[in-house]
Structure 1
Amino acid sequence: MEGPPNNPRTVEEVFKDFRGRRSGMINALTADVEKFYQQCDPEKENLCLYGLPNETWEVTLPAEEVPPELPEPALGINFARDGMQEKDWLALVAVHSDAWLLAVAFYFGARFGFDKNERKRLFHMMNELPTIFEVVTGISKKQPRDKSASTPHTSSKKKSNPKMVIPQPRLSEPQMKVSKMPTPKDDEESGEEEEDEEGLTLCGACGENYASDEFWICCDVCERWFHGKCVKITPARAEHIKQYKCPACSNKRAKI
């Protein structure tokens, strides 16, 4: 398993070793799960699940020599067997098994002098396979989270977030929050009020008028609008703010 002295193992050989051990551990946690469950008797001493290069597995005591020839799997997996539901216990063993496989593969990589590119290639080859945890829990059969959830979530958040004002050529968007509901009047009076309100749309920090090419944000306490740059808030940061408080309102709460 070690290879002859001064004859380093290749990335392909280490990956073959990884794949064989992985297959054995997957069999223990899926096809041979009843046999594996019975062997993990909590009355026994610390037991470990080993995957072997020939795609088999064994539950046994850890190696006696210190330090061991290879990194050791998680100790005492049998002690937790009866303290949790079977599916949760199998998932826990799967997580530790994934960690052990990576440790063994990169142990060989370090021992046989893999350089940066070889380690990167080895990891890429291993990462192309589903993890044991994904296989045991069925996560690998689901759609990737970044394709199924991230894009709709981001787009809906931009549409529903009332704090952000993406620059527009008119003042209608910030006025929606700062202006009162207009009372029924003739067209001439309402037009004059709109012009007055447009002139009152000022930044609460610098006092400057609204500009169509600038990002604005509204305080949820005093309902005043601010240039993003005046209160050091960017559009990206505003995406994650549930309730924005301007510096003045934040200071008032702190004093209280």
Structure 2
Amino acid sequence: MPTPKTIEAIYEDYRNRREGLLLALIDDAKELYAAAGPERENLCLYGHPDGNWSVDLPTEEVPPELPEPVLGINFARDGMERKDWLALCAVHSDAWLMSLAFFYAARFDADGRAELFSLINQHPTVYEVVTGRVARNKMYKRKVPKQQAAAAHAAVASQAAALAAFEEPNSFVRPGYQAADQPLPTGRLLTEADVSPALTGRQAELFWPDDGKWYLIQFNAIYMDSRKADVQYATGEFEQLDLDEVIRDGHCSLLT
């Protein structure tokens, strides 16, 4: 497979490899346990970009083309409880996933690395999921890097100030607003066809998996080149959304 070079491609590689590792450590735990026999040589647990996994010998290339997973997971297998062994494999898998992602991101600047980490950090660690601390489908609210958030907020504030000279104050903010458990029946899921400058000023509801609520938002600016949008919540907060992401996940309902 081609080497991922963009933030989006590296993030997708991380997600797929993570899913492969979760498959190994949860769904296929019996098969993993059987494959990692201590009688075999040093073994590594690999998560692959296609979402599958394997237990295999490390590459013989020195230095390796990519960071390698921890070596010798099979030797610890019979020296501890199975659940503890799986948890240990999960910890080392998290470390490998992060080293691989930032190996690919070595040429990024500080903003690029922060953007990549903010995408990765939406997901619980493999360890959290394998040990049952967090549900497998849990998604944390994404935290936009401070510099990007400040720039986005400044742009929105500037736009709002310019409009204020000609229009009535923005009445979108609703004191005491409460998010809903379900989207309004008059809305429909945002689609690729909706992404255009005409989306500016439209209202929608955005789903946050971390609390299972739908929040009322307004699109303040659409950036066609990056496929992102500045939005304002009815609570008064601002955020920049990845439009492709919310469309893919079905997390945005456009009000009609």
TM-score norm. by structure 2 comes to: 0.52
> Offset of 1:55 from its aligned partner?
0.3
Aligned length: 136
Q: Secondary structure at the match of 1:125?
A: helix
Q: For 1:9 and 1:88, how far apart are their aligned partners in 2?
A: 36
CA deviation string 1:34-81 (max 9, x = no partner): 100000000000000000000000000000000001101010000000
**Which structure shows the higher helix fraction?**
1
Please give the root-mean-square deviation of Cα atoms over the aligned residues, in Å. 1.4
Q: Pick one of 5, 8, 12 that aligns with 2:8.
A: 12
Higher alpha-carbon Rg: 1
Segments of structure 2 that go 5 or more residues without pairing to the other structure are: 136-256
Alignment-derived partner of residue 187 in structure 1: none
Q: Pick one of 42, 47, 64 that aligns with 2:43.
A: 47
Moved >2 Å (runs of 4+): none
Amino acid at match of 1:98: D
Q: For 1:9 and 1:65, how far apart are their aligned partners in 2?
A: 22
Alignment-derived partner of residue 135 in structure 1: 129
Q: Pick one of 12, 22, 43 that aligns with 2:18.
A: 22
CA deviation string 1:69-127 (max 9, x = no partner): 110101000000000000000000000000000000000001xx211111001011101
**Which structure shows the higher strand fraction?**
2
1:61 equivalent to 2:57? Answer: yes
> Offset of 1:9 from its aligned partner?
1.5
Superposed, 1:114-133 pairs within 5 Å as: 114-133=108-127
Alignment-derived partner of residue 102 in structure 1: 98
CA deviation string 1:123-158 (max 9, x = no partner): 1110110100001001114xxxxxxxxxxxxxxxxx
Q: Provide the identity percentage.
A: 57
Q: Secondary structure at the match of 1:49?
A: strand
Q: Secondary structure at the match of 1:139?
A: coil
Q: Secondary structure at the match of 2:5?
A: coil
Amino acid at match of 1:78: N
Q: Secondary structure at the match of 2:55?
A: strand
Alignment-derived partner of residue 38 in structure 1: 34
1:84 equivalent to 2:86? Answer: no
Q: For 1:37 and 1:70, how far apart are their aligned partners in 2?
A: 25
Q: Secondary structure at the match of 1:73?
A: coil
Q: For 1:129 and 1:20, how far apart are their aligned partners in 2?
A: 12
Q: Secondary structure at the match of 1:140?
A: coil
> Offset of 1:2 from its aligned partner?
4.2
CA deviation string 1:170-207 (max 9, x = no partner): xxxxxxxxxxxxxxxxxxxxxxxxxxxxxxxxxxxxxx
Q: For 1:82 and 1:58, how far apart are their aligned partners in 2?
A: 19
Amino acid at match of 1:134: E
TM-score norm. by structure 1 comes to: 0.52
Q: For 2:45 and 2:36, how far apart are their aligned partners in 1?
A: 9
Q: For 1:12 and 1:81, how far apart are their aligned partners in 2?
A: 36
